[in-house]
């Protein structure tokens, strides 16, 4: 009666909510799943990347054999989902109790908290979330965020859609910001050094007459912020537009 696939939603849910009862028999456990998850988060935060988070390294940091981890966690994938849920707890705490602001400021706060969370744990956006995360803190976060758009006359589906819209914007801009940082670390070149190499090479093949707008706007954007794109600016600009769009909808109710 083995699971065909490693992913057993019921087992994962039990792990996330802490209701998986550990076996009574056998040697004492030297660890808990919480310890494994915490160690993994620490490593991922340090690396700012998931790619280099291996089971071996997690085990080493805890002073156990690699395979011992699988006593506490079903698979690497389940571990990642648990890590996600753990750090979502930070967002829940930061958001605190609802009801102080109007909804616009509320959404601004939601955006800000999610942005900060992404930058604090850049690996977060690399976690595969093909299925909705059903951990306690993921749900608590959703609950708290829904409170911001409750009572505006929106339908349930619209409430969900508005939050999705804000999340996508934050994640999109945060992703750009994070990947830019990663590019610097991985290549060992900052933007200036990189352009010093890419610029001349591009100049040899790029014809400004064929791409007049790209040439002009690319240059302007590059000068305004230093670097090709400025994610912080994209974040603020986009959020402003987006809130105006939502306001227009709310006004019709």
Looking at residues 200 to 219 of the shown chain, list those that interact with its own copies (rule: CB under 8 A).
200-202, 204-206, 210-214, 216-218
Q: Which option in DNA, its own copies, none does residue 61 bind, with CB closer than 5 to 8 A by kind?
A: none
228 binds its own copies (CB under 8 A): yes
Residue 119 interacts with its own copies (CB under 8 A): yes or no: no
Q: How far is the CB of 138 from DNA (least distance, A)?
A: 21
Residue in this structure with the two tokens 């079903």, named with its chain if needed: 74
Residue 195 and residue 103: Cα distance in Å, rounded?
Answer: 42
Instruction: Give the C-alpha distances (Å, rounded to integers) separating 244 from 65, 170, 223, 250.
Output: 54, 16, 28, 10
Least distance from its own copies to the Cβ atom of residue 45, Å: 19
Distances (CA, A) of 23 to 6, 28, 29, 69: 20, 10, 10, 15
Q: Interface residues for its own copies in 149-178 (CB under 8 A)?
A: 150, 155-162, 164-165, 167-169, 171-173, 176
Q: Which is nearer to its own copies, 68 or 152 (CB)?
A: 152
Q: Which of 67, 48, 55, 70 is nearest to 179 (CA)?
A: 48
Residues 6+ apart with CB under 8 A from 219: none
Binding site for DNA (CB under 7 A): 6, 22-31, 52-57, 64-68, 70-72, 75-77
């Amino acid at each position: 009666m083995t699971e065909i696939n490693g992913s057993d939603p019921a087992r994962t849910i039990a792990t996330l909510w802490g209701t998986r009862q550990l076996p009574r028999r056998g040697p004492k456990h030297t660890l808990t799943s919480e310890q494994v998850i915490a160690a993994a988060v620490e490593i991922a935060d340090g690396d700012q990347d998931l790619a280099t988070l291996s089971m071996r390294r997690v085990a080493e940091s805890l002073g156990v054999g690699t395979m011992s981890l699988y006593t506490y966690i079903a698979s690497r994938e389940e571990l990642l989902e648990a890590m996600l849920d753990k750090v979502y707890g930070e967002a829940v705490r930061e958001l605190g109790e609802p009801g102080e602001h109007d909804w616009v400021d509320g959404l601004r706060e939601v955006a800000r908290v999610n942005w900060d969370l992404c930058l604090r744990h850049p690996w977060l956006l690399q976690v595969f979330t093909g299925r909705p995360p059903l951990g306690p803190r993921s749900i608590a976060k959703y609950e708290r965020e829904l409170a911001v758009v409750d009572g505006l006359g929106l339908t349930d589906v619209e409430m969900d859609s508005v939050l999705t819209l804000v999340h996508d914007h934050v994640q999109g801009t945060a992703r750009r910001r994070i990947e830019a940082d990663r590019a610097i670390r991985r290549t060992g070149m900052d933007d200036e050094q990189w352009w010093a190499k890419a610029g001349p090479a591009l100049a040899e093949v790029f014809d400004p007459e064929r791409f007049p707008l790209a040439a002009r706007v690319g240059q302007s954007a590059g000068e305004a912020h230093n670097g090709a794109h400025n994610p912080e600016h994209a974040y603020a600009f986009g959020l402003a537009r987006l809130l105006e769009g939502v306001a227009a909808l709310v006004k019709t109710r």
